[in-house]
Amino acid sequence: MKKRSLISLVLMGTLSLALAACGEEETAGGSSGDSGGEKEKLRLVTDGAYAPMEYLDGGEVTGFGVDFAEAVVEEAGYEADIEVIGWEPIFVEIEGKTADLAVSSITINDERKETYDFSVPYYLSTNMIMVPEDSDVESGEDLKGKKIAVLNGSTGQEAAETIAGENSTDVLKFADNNLAIQELLAGGADAVIADNTIVEYYTQMNPEQKLKVVPDEDFADEFYGILFPKGSELKADFDEAIKAIIDNGTYTEIYQEWFGTEPDLETLKAQQ
Amino acid sequence: MDFRMDLVIDYMPFFLKGALYTIGVSLVGILLGTILGLLIGMGKIMRNKLLALPFILYITFFRGTPLFVQILLIHFGLIPLVIGQTNAIVAGIVALTLNAAAYIAEIFRAGIQSIDRGQMEAARSLGQTHAQAMRYVILPQAFKRMVPPLGNEFIVLLKDSSLLAVITVPELMYWGRAFQGQYYKIWEPYLTAALIYLILTLSMSYLLGRLEKRLATE
Amino acid sequence: MIKVVNLKKTFGDNEVLKDISVDIQPKEVVVVIGPSGSGKSTFLRCINLLESITDGHVYIEGVDITDKKTNINKIRTDVGMVFQQFNLFPHRTVLENITMSPMKVKKESPKVAKEKALVLLKKVGLVEKANAYPDSLSGGQKQRVAIARALALEPRIMLFDEPTSALDPEMVGEVLEVMKQLALEGMTMIVVTHEMGFAREVGDRVLFMDGGYIVEENVPSELFARPQHARTKSFLSKVL
């Protein structure tokens, strides 16, 4: 996992530089094609190690995010190949415009907005704390001085560093959430902070690990958006498409299929 | 390209702290690996093939599988199994040591086997036991020949220790990746890390070159 | 002194020594000659078990060295060996080469070992090289040090495995001179060599080996003057 993403990082870093100029023109020329005849084929990238959102199941990428992406691409009138490239390369590829869009449980924040464009929010998420069942941790404050495993560069990391201090060695930054969870199971960390989807899904799917999820009200609501290169003309089409599938019930259908509960559409729509 | 030198400078304390960890774990790894490697190398050249088998299997496993896999196995599997809970630095040092030992065992074996057979025969013909001949005649000569490949192994280990970032050993590459995760920058953290690695490996090569020269003239 | 009975040695399928029996008396100097591949060196190396013995027995002063219970390291201190390639220890000085085994094997004190070594170096004419490293010596000097090193254990038998074959011609004499001196002092010696002059002058007996057998043996004057076997004749006609 790490090795592959490192290689693709280097490759893509080089590629994105080389292709930057021509990529720009191509995207600009191509995305205006609303002639209706041939559907434009997009390159859609994802991390693929983020169950149940986007993950690999026997070589096939699947998950809520993937079903959502397929629905919204169709609604917007495009075609797309979904490619798993790892977390860090997403930002390299989108910035370098070698990929058209990324659906990868990417939290919308101001820092990222400086470099990228986001669609309207399509998913509501909160960071939560996962600890062993017998842990006495009741909130984020209780994690002071404890080892917290997080996904490198995630909002879970931000939450952890708010508690432990920026660049604290108590915050263990892993290349994906699975490794962070593994660290907790192996006893190298006292807690994991990650999106509720991740920790709730893992806790439910693996009752034998005897874990529990602890919420913290100080952890802000987060919204996932589709990531585009800055100034992408795709954004408008996809904003419309997201609203459309929420209104026509497709979104709720996919949500229920994956999480077994109703989505909080009101909070989501309020953000749009 | 917009290279944010200011971020690199802000982050420099972490790079330097990481570099110290890189040097530390590599140094401990090569030292423990040398001791273990000697024992395993000795084991491998035992005349009793059945007794030598475990050592041969050890070398085959650690040389035939990626260090990356070994690190994950040791960190998430072996260490929790042995001491109850995992610890990145312990796991990192164990992984580097076990891996280096396999390569050093081969360096050691090659070193011993490069010594002319006549040396052993002469020592034995003078009444020395096999162990005495090893101790006084073969090993002192073999060690001298082992210095250059051991030095290379150290440089390899220094670079390979970057893989420990995956289990969050706070070495150089870990901080490089943390930088990347924090600022979504590629060139700044990784070029800086690469430069520091280069300084470390070049310094090592220089020191080794001097050591080899001294040994050669001795 | 040395009794070899029906000695056989095979390397894999290759039978190098087929059936060797010989008796060597104290103070006797036995020279072994023969074409390459005849088994001369292997025969010599069997006498101090540098080669394991496939079949037969070797007795040294009545002790069967093929017996598993025999302490071969002890026997080897009584049987010195000099090699074609000298096999000096390059990481030790000349003096240390000589004192190492007396100190480590016979537990002699450094002082005693050093004194003895200097006497031996004087004997082979190399006292001034005591602190030199082997690499700085000529071939002849190296071989003389090797002889001194073997003598340091005060052996009663000396084995020489083609001691001059790796030397430049002008250095052969100095080594043979030392060996001759040793023979005069009454050392029991077995010498594998191509130096027929040495065999004739110093040897008490010459063994001619070929194809894994001792084909013929006799006092040097007889063997060289009147070889009995066709193979001996043919060999001697080539080397003389």
Q: What is the pLDDT of residue B98?
A: 98
Residue C223 dihedral angles phi and psi, to the nearest 5°: -60, -45
With cut-offs at 50, 70 and 90, classify the pLDDT of residue B218. low
pLDDT > 80? residue A33: no
- Residues in chain A with CB shorter than 8 Å from the CB of B181 are 88, 152-154, 157, 173
Asked if C101 lies within 8 A of B127 by C-beta distance, the reply is yes
Instruction: Check: pTM over 0.80? Answer yes or no.
Output: no
Asked if A188 lies within 8 A of B75 by C-beta distance, the reply is yes
pLDDT > 90? residue C213: yes
Least confident of A15-19, A169-173, B156-160, C51-55: A15-19
Asked if B126 lies within 8 A of C91 by C-beta distance, the reply is no
Chains that touch A (3 or more CB pairs under 8 A): B
Average pLDDT, chain A: 85
Asked if B124 lies within 8 A of C83 by C-beta distance, the reply is no
pLDDT > 50? residue C226: yes
Chains A and B touch (3+ CB pairs under 8 A): yes
Residue A36 dihedral angles phi and psi, to the nearest 5°: 95, -20
- Residues in chain C with CB shorter than 8 Å from the CB of B128 are 73, 101, 104-105
Closest to B168 (Cβ–Cβ): which among A153, A173, A185? Answer: A173
Q: Select the more confidently predicted residue: B80 or A59.
A: B80
Q: What is the pLDDT of residue B1?
A: 57
Provide, rounded to the nearest whole percent, the portion of chain A with pLDDT above 90: 63
Least confident of A49-53, A90-94, A236-240: A49-53
pLDDT > 50? residue A226: yes
Provide, rounded to the nearest whole percent, the portion of chain C with pLDDT above 70: 100
CA distance B61 to chain A (A): 20
Q: How many CB pairs under 8 A join B and C?
A: 60
**Residues of C at the B interface, defined by Cβ within 8 angstroms:** 48, 50, 73-74, 76-77, 79-81, 83, 85, 87-91, 100-101, 104-106, 146, 149-150, 153
Strand partners, C23: C3
With cut-offs at 50, 70 and 90, classify the pLDDT of residue B50. very high
SS (H, E, C) chain A: CHHHHHHHHHHHHHHHHHHHHHHHHHHHHHCCCCCCCCCCEEEEEECCEECCCEEEECCEEECHHHHHHHHHHHHHCCEEEEEECCHHHHHHHHHCCCCCEEEEEEECCHHHHHHEEECCCCEEEEEEEEEECCCCCCCHHHHCCCCEEEECCCHHHHHHHHHHCCCCCCEEEECCHHHHHHHHHCCCCCEEEEEHHHHHHHHHHCHHHCEEEECCCCCCEEEEEEEEECCCCHHHHHHHHHHHHHHCCHHHHHHHHHHCCCCCHHHHHHHC
Average pLDDT, chain C: 94
Q: Is C16 strand, coil or helix?
A: strand
- Residues in chain B with CB shorter than 8 Å from the CB of C50 are 121, 124-125
Asked if A182 lies within 8 A of B76 by C-beta distance, the reply is yes
pLDDT > 70? residue A4: no
Integer Cα distance of C26 and C187 in angstroms: 8
Q: Report whether B51 contacts B127 (CB < 8 A).
A: no
Asked if C73 lies within 8 A of B123 by C-beta distance, the reply is no
- Residues in chain C with CB shorter than 8 Å from the CB of B132 are 104-105
- Residues in chain B with CB shorter than 8 Å from the CB of A183 are 76, 86, 167-168
Chains that touch C (3 or more CB pairs under 8 A): B
Integer Cα distance of B3 and C210 in angstroms: 83
| Chain C residue with Cα closest to B137 | C89
pLDDT > 90? residue B80: yes
* Tens of pLDDT, residues A82-133: 999 988 889 989 999 999 999 999 999 888 898 899 999 999 988 999 999 9
Chains that touch B (3 or more CB pairs under 8 A): A, C
Q: What is the pLDDT of residue B54?
A: 95
Q: What is the pLDDT of residue B130?
A: 92
Which pairs count as long-range contacts for C37-42, CB under 8 Å and 24+ apart, including other chains?
Answer: C38/C209, C38/C210, C38/C211, C38/C212, C39/C9, C39/C209, C39/C211, C39/C212, C40/C192, C40/C209, C41/C161, C41/C162, C41/C192, C42/C9, C42/C16, C42/C17
Q: Select the more confidently predicted residue: C211 or A26.
A: C211
Q: What is the pLDDT of residue B216?
A: 77
Asked if B137 is an interface residue toward chain C (Cβ–Cβ < 8 A), one would say: yes
Closest to B125 (Cβ–Cβ): which among C76, C100, C104? Answer: C76
| Chain B residue with Cα closest to A166 | B182
A55-67 mean pLDDT: 92
With cut-offs at 50, 70 and 90, classify the pLDDT of residue B185. confident
pLDDT > 90? residue A247: yes
Q: Select the more confidently predicted residue: A130 or B186.
A: A130
B198-215 mean pLDDT: 92
Closest to B86 (Cβ–Cβ): which among A9, A152, A186? Answer: A186
Q: Angle at Cα A184 formed by Cα A182 and Cα A185, nearest 5°?
A: 65
With cut-offs at 50, 70 and 90, classify the pLDDT of residue A18. very low
Asked if A152 lies within 8 A of B184 by C-beta distance, the reply is no
Q: What is the pLDDT of residue A20?
A: 43
Residue B117, exposed/middle/buried by CB under 10 A (0-12, 13-18, 19+)? exposed
Chains C and B touch (3+ CB pairs under 8 A): yes
Asked if A183 lies within 8 A of B86 by C-beta distance, the reply is yes
Q: What is the pLDDT of residue B19?
A: 97
Integer Cα distance of C40 and C17 in angstroms: 9
Asked if B118 lies within 8 A of C85 by C-beta distance, the reply is yes
Closest to B122 (Cβ–Cβ): which among C74, C87, C105? Answer: C87
Q: Report whether C208 contacts C214 (CB < 8 A).
A: yes
Interface test with C, best of B126, B135, B141 (most C CBs within 10 A): B126
pLDDT > 90? residue C199: yes
